[in-house]
Structure 1
Amino acid sequence: MNTRLCVRWFAPLSLLLLTACAPAPIYKVTSTTVTAIPMQVAHSPDQYAKGDVIWGGSVVNVRNFPDHTEMEILAYPLDSSQRPQPNAQGIGRFIAIFPGYLEAFNYPNGGLVTVSGQISGNRTGAVDQASYVYPEVTVAQSHQWTSAELRQGHPNVSFGVGVGVGIH
Structure 2
Amino acid sequence: MQESCCPIYRIALTVIFLVLGGCASQFPPLIQQPSSGNPSLSAVQEDISYYQGSYVRWGGTIAGIENKKEHTILEIIARPLESDGRPREINIDLGRFLARVENFLDPEIYRPGRDITVYGSIEKPLKRGEDKPLLPLIQVKRYHLWKPRNYPPAYYPYPYWKPRGYY
TM-score when normalising by structure 2? 0.65
Structure 2 residue 29 is matched with structure 1 residue 46: no
Report the equivalent of 1:55: 58
| Count of aligned positions | 124
Q: Measure the CA separation in 1 of the matches of 2:61 and 2:112.
A: 7
**Which blocks of at least 5 consecutive residues in structure 1 are unaligned?**
1-22, 152-168
Structure 2 residue 114 is matched with structure 1 residue 111: yes
Report the equivalent of 1:146: 147
Which structure: larger Rg? Answer: 2
CA deviation after TM superposition for structure 1 residue 88, in Å: 3.8
TM-score when normalising by structure 1? 0.65
Q: Measure the CA separation in 1 of the matches of 2:92 and 2:39.
A: 15
Q: Measure the CA separation in 2 of the matches of 1:65 and 1:142.
A: 18
CA deviation after TM superposition for structure 1 residue 74, in Å: 0.5
Structure 2 residue 99 is matched with structure 1 residue 87: no
Q: Measure the CA separation in 2 of the matches of 1:78 and 1:28.
A: 11
**Which blocks of at least 5 consecutive residues in structure 2 are unaligned?**
1-24, 152-167
Percent identity reads 27
Q: 1:91 to 1:144 in 2, by over 3 A?
A: same
What one-letter code is carried by the residue in structure 2 that aligns with 1:74? Answer: I
Give the match's secondary structure for 2:104. coil
Which of residues 114, 123, 131 in structure 1 aligns to 2:126?
123
Report the equivalent of 1:72: 75
RMSD over equivalenced CA pairs, Å: 2.5
Q: Which runs of 4+ in 1 moved over 4 A?
A: none
